[in-house]
Amino acid sequence: MPLNITGASIHQIQLKTRMPFKYGIATMTEVPMVFVQLDTNVDGRLSRGVASDLLPPKWFTKVPDDPLEKEVADMLQVIRQAISHTIGTEAPTAFAAWQGIYERQADWANSENIAPLLAHFGTSLVERALIESVCRATSKTLGQALRDGTLGFQPGAIHPALTKRSALELLPRSPLASVVPRHTVGLADPLSADTIPDDEKLDDSLPQSLDQCIHAYGLRHFKIKITGDIDADLERLRTVAAAIDQHAPSNHAFSLDGNEQFKSVDDFRKHWIRLTDNSTLSSFFQHLLFVEQPLHRDIALEKSVKEGFDNWPSRPPIIIDESDATIKSLPTALDLGYAGTSHKNCKGIFKGVANACLLNTRRETGHTSVMSGEDLCNVGPVAVIQDLAVMAALGIESVERNGHHYMAGLSQFPEATQRQVLDSHTGLYRISERGWPTLDIRDGQIDLTSVNSQPFGTGFELDLSPFGEISLVEE
């Protein structure tokens, strides 16, 4: 499907959280959200695509001393640079266009000593907007466009081991009708309603504490973050486990987020033994799904990790997240002994789809293979919908969702935007008691009927005029 990219723009809105979101070394209380819009000509049809994401501090680069303003500026820099590699691009397919943009962005980042995870955040935004423009021009859902060749996706072009395999055979034949939201228990989140001080209680009609969330949404999957301090982690896990055991269904499950807190496999192994040998937690750990990125990104893909894993055959399934920075990251991780990786749209869609295909081939040979869905506080009106479209197309059933918990629905967006989302996504969003749309989670599930029936999920052309426009050139 030949195309050319004729124009682009960046828009921004500042969002505030309804409660602090503490993850790793950062605590989010407010954050910018950007929108990237591309104008395209797809096989003679003018089209437009929009992608969106938050600019989260202390994730793409975890440098404790960097000011938040610098981190936001760095994220905008990589977005602008990716756009500069994009405008004027002509290619036979969206996938071919992405390949060129990815390579140019990688070369630039290498010359500027910019970490690949950060650099390709910019790539991912133009990639998402490009995919939406093609899906909109052809009236195809994401799954259809991946499987029937509309996007030109070739898994073997990313992972040579898949050269003789096609997306048609390696991806699910139909998208998931629903996903199970895996609720993030943030490091500062209250676990029970009776522990919230009166002056910190929210009055926005949404649940605040863990027990309230479980009952309001019917939650059964959870993501628990640890700090690396064994005494603090043991105390926290005991209280979280007690709340989940008391309030959640008996078939609950959880993932453990290591937050890059460990400097070696041996360090994490010792921590793991202390956690799992605790008599009050032994039954709780029978509900574990996997462990996410316990090792710091600086050493997570070093050759020494293989020896550590080889000497620990009884280890839990361990996946990479922040270390999944390039198209070579997952094959490297699998060779070292990891069980898989996460998918976040901010790490790239074509890369994520190819990773899913690679893990599916490993399952064919009996290997334990994990691809999780993770979140960076994704919210509407675009980001969370496109993210869910990818999860559905890849068949990822357990998906971390936390944006609806830390943001008060779409209350901070213009009423016209709220109406667009509600009109297109009945069943995905509901009207809160305060009158604004919020994600509709019922019986521990998110209904994806509306997402699966529309081009790249969204189904509407977002009006960006209410949002401030940012120059494509750094001022």
Q: Which residue has the higher pLDDT, 297 or 64?
A: 297
Looking up residue 319, the CATH number of its domain turns out to be 3.20.20.120
Question: What pLDDT score was predicted for residue 135?
Answer: 98
**Structural domain contains residue 463:** no
Residues 319-327: what's their mean pLDDT?
97
Co-location of 260 and 357 in the same domain: yes
**Structural domain contains residue 465:** no
Co-location of 209 and 133 in the same domain: no
**Structural domain contains residue 140:** yes
With a threshold of 0.85, does the pTM exceed it? Answer: yes
For residues 193 and 208, give the distance between their C-alpha atoms in angstroms, rounded to a whole number.
7
Q: How many CB atoms lie within 10 A of CB 78?
A: 25
Co-location of 27 and 90 in the same domain: yes
Q: Which residue has the higher pLDDT, 42 or 20?
A: 42
* Last residue of one domain, picked from the residues 169, 193, 214: 169
Spell out the residues 6+ positions from residue 403 whose beta carbon is closer than 8 angstroms to its own.
375, 377, 378, 379, 383, 384, 439
357-376 residue pLDDT tens: 999 999 999 999 999 999 88
**Structural domain contains residue 50:** yes
Question: What pLDDT score was predicted for residue 470?
Answer: 95
Mean of the per-residue pLDDT values for the chain?
Answer: 95
Residues 165-186: what's their mean pLDDT?
96
Domain count, the chain: 2
For residues 389 and 392, give the distance between their C-alpha atoms in angstroms, rounded to a whole number.
5
Question: What pLDDT score was predicted for residue 65?
Answer: 78
- CA 347-353-358 angle, to 5 degrees, is 110
Question: What pLDDT score was predicted for residue 57?
Answer: 83
**Structural domain contains residue 180:** yes
Name the pLDDT band for 21 (thresholds 50, 70, 90). confident
Backbone angles phi, psi at 28, to 5 degrees: -95, 125
Co-location of 222 and 282 in the same domain: yes
Co-location of 260 and 386 in the same domain: yes
Co-location of 223 and 88 in the same domain: no
Question: What pLDDT score was predicted for residue 224?
Answer: 96
Among residues 112, 111, 108, 85, the alpha carbon closest in space to that of 98 is found at: 85
214-256 residue pLDDT tens: 999 999 999 999 999 999 999 999 999 999 999 999 999 999 9
Co-location of 33 and 160 in the same domain: yes
Residues 196-216: what's their mean pLDDT?
96
Is pLDDT above 90 for 288? yes
Question: What pLDDT score was predicted for residue 241?
Answer: 97
For residues 46 and 268, give the distance between their C-alpha atoms in angstroms, rounded to a whole number.
53
Co-location of 444 and 306 in the same domain: yes
Question: What pLDDT score was predicted for residue 25?
Answer: 73
Question: What pLDDT score was predicted for residue 213?
Answer: 98
Co-location of 153 and 198 in the same domain: no
For residues 432 and 203, give the distance between their C-alpha atoms in angstroms, rounded to a whole number.
12
For residues 213 and 205, give the distance between their C-alpha atoms in angstroms, rounded to a whole number.
12
Co-location of 88 and 179 in the same domain: no
For residues 86 and 129, give the distance between their C-alpha atoms in angstroms, rounded to a whole number.
11
State what percent of residues in the chain have pLDDT above 70: 100
**Structural domain contains residue 266:** yes
Co-location of 179 and 154 in the same domain: no
Name the pLDDT band for 61 (thresholds 50, 70, 90). confident
Residues in the chain: 475
For the four alpha carbons of 176, 372, 317 and 444, in that order, the dihedral sign comes to negative
**Structural domain contains residue 474:** no
For the four alpha carbons of 278, 273, 299 and 326, in that order, the dihedral sign comes to negative
The DSSP secondary-structure symbol of 295 reads B
Looking up residue 71, the CATH number of its domain turns out to be 3.30.390.10
Among residues 402, 385, 365, 369, the alpha carbon closest in space to that of 459 is found at: 385
Q: Bin 437: left if φ > 0, else alpha if -120 < ψ < 50, else beta.
A: beta
User: Residue 76 sits in which domain range?
Assistant: 3-169
> Are 69 and 90 in contact, with CB atoms under 8 Å apart?
no
Concatenating the DSSP letter of every residue in 345-366 gives GGG-HHHHHHHHHHHHHHHHTT
For residues 143 and 159, give the distance between their C-alpha atoms in angstroms, rounded to a whole number.
20
Question: What pLDDT score was predicted for residue 23?
Answer: 78
Question: What pLDDT score was predicted for residue 433?
Answer: 96
Name the pLDDT band for 199 (thresholds 50, 70, 90). very high
CA distances from 51 to 242, 285, 450 (A): 40, 38, 18
* Last residue of one domain, picked from the residues 138, 169, 200: 169
Question: What pLDDT score was predicted for residue 231?
Answer: 96
**Structural domain contains residue 358:** yes
Question: What pLDDT score was predicted for residue 27?
Answer: 84
Question: What pLDDT score was predicted for residue 85?
Answer: 97
Co-location of 212 and 130 in the same domain: no
Residues 389-404: what's their mean pLDDT?
97
> Are 54 and 72 in contact, with CB atoms under 8 Å apart?
no
* Last residue of one domain, picked from the residues 169, 200, 223: 169
The secondary element (H helix, E strand) that includes residue 7 is strand 3-23
State what percent of residues in the chain have pLDDT above 90: 91
Chain center to CA of 469: 25
Name the pLDDT band for 464 (thresholds 50, 70, 90). very high
Residues 417-421: what's their mean pLDDT?
96
